[in-house]
Amino acid sequence: MPMAEVPNIVPALPEIFLALAAMTLLMLGVFQKPVTPDGELRAARTTTNLGLITMVLALLLVFTVSGNVLVTFEGMFISDPFATFAKVLILIASTFSLMMAQRWLEQQHAHRFEFAVLVILATLGMMMMVSASNLLSLYMGLELQSLSLYVLAAFQRDDVRSTESGLKYFVLGAMASAFLLYGSSLVYGFTGTTDFATIAATIKAQDHHFPTGLAVGLVFVMAGLAFKVSAVPFHMWTPDVYEGAPTPVTSFFAVAPKVAALALFLRVMMGPFGEMAHQWQGIVVLLSILSMSIGAFAAIAQVNIKRMMAYSSIGHVGYALMGLAVANEQGVTGVLIYLAIYVFMNVGVFACILAMRRGDRMVESIYDLAGLAKSHPGMAAALAVFMFSMAGIPPLAGFFGKLYIFLAAIEAQLYTLAIIGVLTSVVSAYYYLRIIKIMYFDEAEADHLETPLPNVIAAVLGVCSAVIVLFFLVPAPLITTAGAAAASLF
Amino acid sequence: MIETLVFYMFAIICVASGVLVVTARNPVNSVLFLILAFFNAGGLFVLAGAEFIAMLLIIVYVGAVAVLFMFVVMMLDVTVTELKQGFTKYLPIGLLVTVIFAVEVLGATVAWHMAPEAAANIQAATPAADAVSNTSALGKIIYTNYAYLFQAAGLVLLVAMIGAIVLTHRKRRDSKKQVIAKQLARKASEAVELKKVETGRGI
């Protein structure tokens, strides 16, 4: 019998490193953890700090292996500029989330060393998702990510809302996975393979004579993915999970998994099913319109800021899907630029939410922000920048994110979609600007929020607002890398 | 001929016990019907020539999962009437969704055809089915071609384990636990107090 060849592991080095680091940190936490509460705190801090170093090293590794298109593990794993772009965003988002989490967890007495380990494993799952070039590796990455996220949602297990959100997310997420698997099996039944490139070649050879079954399979795959990006009508879980989960976990949910799932959505639609674009374009248009509308209108009624951000993220997914509906290189470039800006806006907003603290307890109502301009002028200014940016007001970065997507939609003659996008973004401006009005013009009823701002939060706020404000001065690096990343998909 | 008969036997019992899992009044009976369904599904796999999956189904699902279900059912003392509340209320809409879904799936599968290239694609992935047994065919690819997936599955299981421990394991403040290190580290001066008692006075 011939010896099996050892696969080339170089393209997957960042993933392998993260997996090993996660296991090492787990061991470290388990063996370091003495019985005293003091030791518990020490173990949690050590794993978080080492976890942050791990993320930064993984980021360096991603840059090291970037550049060429490398396929390995029998075509299951692909490392191309598109994957690199998504991985860099994911790692940045995860690093910010982990950085801000520790202090909050300590204050809530929910600090445990497993938190950092689970965040790293979730990040690993996301990186595997964006590097998947096979339906099987797609599913494994997705499950690794989802399972870690279910546990993270229920992390504050003495809190009823946290456990409820974990359970809800788990049950609905398992159903979405089932849809995805059913769809994958139909696709496999038609093409006889799970490899993206072979699926694309097989579909192309049919010259548009697909059976209904393949279309049904495609729709099921899309339903599963739409659940993961929380596009309407698969968004029901989002507000409840965002509200119930511990705030650092919500801030993680709002950025990294969104980027990963959207990148995966792009790759699956453009790669294996690129030839069927006219079949799925209509579905994506519908998803996009519904997400933008529900995201804009439902957020108006929200008082809880985490719930509001959940609807806001649904709306943002709608805009990103508009770029997918265009189904060409320009559209994908638009989505990637949008995602990069979205990460910084959301990290910034959640840094503010994590700092909303009065006395011993966290507050989550938007009216708790009243009078913020007087007590925390810096934080109020940063939050105002993020809100203006989300509303899409020039010259902030959020405007350019929307601009590229709308331009792509108009050039592809999807006028209805672009017009609805503009209208819903006007509607959503109402609730973004309302936050600014509350901060600057309403009188504080109760005591001020906690002063002074923690150093970590202040640093994150500074970095994110600088990126958002100054983006228009040097947009070229992001636009060229996003363009190169999008080009590698076609 | 005989194969067809056996197929229908397995299939009918499998579906019937599936229905009984949902309708049985006693949850313990439900679990037992579930085990019956698993056995018959295993039989169907044997008929399809997938003996490895058949054995796996029996060992893993009957041996581990169903027994676990049985434990849960017996320990949680589930009352069926509570679980069945709303069953009739949601029945019409449930049936409607089921019928629509069934029609769609039928529509999709009746007009089914494979791409002509599919057969070649399938053969590329695995050794020829008639040359080796299921188990060795799986063994040949699972640690070589599919090593990446195998490792990823291991990580998913690791996360499941961490999750189970994080969400359920806790230190109870009220339980007295023996910590040998603490016992050994204790000095006589901390534990014993010597009192000089005068004769006839008591303490």
Count of beta carbons in the 10 Å neighbourhood of residue B87: 11
**Is B167 inside any structural domain?**
yes
* % of residues, chain A, pLDDT over 90: 71
Q: pLDDT-based confidence at B129, cuts 50/70/90?
A: low
- Name residues 169-208 of chain A within 8 A of B (Cβ): 186, 189-193, 198, 201-203, 205-206
Q: Which of A300, A126, A308, A374 is nearest to A229 (CA)?
A: A126
Q: CB-CB: which of B114, B145, B166 is closest to A74?
A: B145
**Is B199 inside any structural domain?**
no
Instruction: Please enumerate in sequence order all residues whose Cβ is within 8 A of that of B51, keeping only pairs 6 or more positions apart, or say none.
Output: B45, B133, B134, B135
**Is A133 inside any structural domain?**
no
Domain closes at, from B52, B75, B98: B75
Q: What is the pLDDT of residues A296-338, one digit of tens each?
A: 999 999 999 999 999 999 999 999 999 999 989 999 999 999 9
**Is B181 inside any structural domain?**
no
User: What pLDDT score does B80 carry?
Assistant: 64
Say if the Cβ atoms of A213 and B112 lie within 8 Å: yes
Q: Give the SS3 label for residue A360.
A: coil
Count of beta carbons in the 10 Å neighbourhood of residue B86: 9
Range of weakest confidence among A12-26, A156-170, A305-319, B102-116? B102-116
Nearest chain B CA: its distance from A190 CA (Å): 5
User: For chain A, how many structural domains are there in total?
Assistant: 1
Q: What is the CATH number of the domain that holds B19?
A: 1.20.120.1200
**Is B152 inside any structural domain?**
yes
Pair B68, B106 in one domain: no
User: For chain B, how many structural domains are there in total?
Assistant: 2
Q: Hey, what are B166's tokens?
A: 């994080």
Pair B71, B83 in one domain: no
Say if the Cβ atoms of A23 and B125 lie within 8 Å: no
Q: What is the pLDDT of residues A5-32, one digit of tens each?
A: 788 888 999 999 999 999 999 999 988 8
Q: How far is CA A147 from the centre of its chain?
A: 15
Q: What is the pLDDT of residues A331-360, one digit of tens each?
A: 999 999 999 999 999 999 999 999 888 777
Pair B97, B167 in one domain: yes
Contacts of A148 in chain B (CB under 8 A): 159, 163
B49 with B37: CB under 8 angstroms? no
Contacts of B142 in chain A (CB under 8 A): none
Question: Which chain B residues have any C-beta within 8 angstroms of a chain A C-beta?
Answer: 104-105, 107-109, 111-122, 124-125, 143-149, 151-153, 155-156, 158-160, 162-163, 165-167, 171, 179
Contacts of A201 in chain B (CB under 8 A): 117
The answer, yes or no, to whether residue B24 has pLDDT greater than 90, is no
Nearest chain B CA: its distance from A444 CA (Å): 39
Range of weakest confidence among A76-90, A434-448, A463-477? A434-448
pTM of this prediction?
A: 0.90
Pair B67, B92 in one domain: no
Q: What is the pLDDT of residues A367-399, one digit of tens each?
A: 888 888 888 888 999 999 999 999 999 889 999
Instruction: Please enumerate in sequence order all residues whose Cβ is within 8 A of that of A226, keeping only pairs 6 or more positions apart, or say none.
Output: A234, A265, A287
Q: Hey, what are A132's tokens?
A: 């998947």
Candidates B101, B155, B171: best to mutate against A (most CBs of A within 10 A) is B155
The interface predicted TM-score (ipTM) is: 0.92
Contacts of B116 in chain A (CB under 8 A): 205
Pair B110, B156 in one domain: yes
The whole-angstrom separation of Cα A346 and Cα A310 is: 11
Instruction: Please enumerate in sequence order all residues whose Cβ is within 8 A of that of B89, keeping only pairs 6 or more positions apart, or say none.
Output: none
User: Containing domain of residue B86, as a range?
Assistant: 79-171
Q: Which of A320, A215, A318 is nearest to A273 (CA)?
A: A215
The whole-angstrom separation of Cα B172 and Cα B127 is: 54
A100 with A356: CB under 8 angstroms? no
> Greatest CA span in chain A, whole angstroms?
80
Candidates B122, B148, B158: best to mutate against A (most CBs of A within 10 A) is B148
Task: Categorise residue A371: left if φ over 0, alpha if ψ from -120 to 50, beta otherwise.
Answer: left
Pair B95, B163 in one domain: yes
The whole-angstrom separation of Cα A20 and Cα A463 is: 30
Pair B83, B51 in one domain: no
DSSP notation for B25-37: SSHHHHHHHHHHH
A394 with A476: CB under 8 angstroms? no
Distances (CA, A) of B93 to A176, B23, B80, B87, B97: 20, 18, 21, 11, 6
User: What pLDDT score does A290 carry?
Assistant: 95
Q: Which of A444, A276, A447 is nearest to A370 (CA)?
A: A444
Containing A251, the helix (H) or strand (E) segment is helix A247-270
The whole-angstrom separation of Cα A389 and Cα A469 is: 9
**Is A299 inside any structural domain?**
yes
Range of weakest confidence among A235-249, A330-344, B13-27, B172-186? B172-186
User: Containing domain of residue A283, as a range?
Assistant: 278-490
Q: Mean pLDDT across chain A, nearest whole number?
A: 91
Contacts of A74 in chain B (CB under 8 A): 145-146, 148
Nearest chain B CA: its distance from A137 CA (Å): 6
Interchain CB contact of A146 with B (< 8 Å): no
A218 with A276: CB under 8 angstroms? yes
DSSP character at residue B85: T
DSSP notation for A19-44: HHHHHHHHHHHHHH--SSHHHHHHHH
A134 with A76: CB under 8 angstroms? yes
Q: CB-CB: which of B122, B124, B167 is closest to A157?
A: B167
Torsion of Cα atoms, A382 then A386 then A387 then A391, to 10°:
150
Contacts of A140 in chain B (CB under 8 A): 149, 152-153, 156
User: What pLDDT score does B125 carry?
Assistant: 65
User: What pLDDT score does B23 carry?
Assistant: 85
Pair B32, B60 in one domain: yes
Which residue is closest to B171 within chain A, CA to CA? Answer: A35
Candidates A20, A214, A218: best to mutate against B (most CBs of B within 10 A) is A214
Interchain CB contact of A116 with B (< 8 Å): no
Say if the Cβ atoms of A205 and B144 lie within 8 Å: no
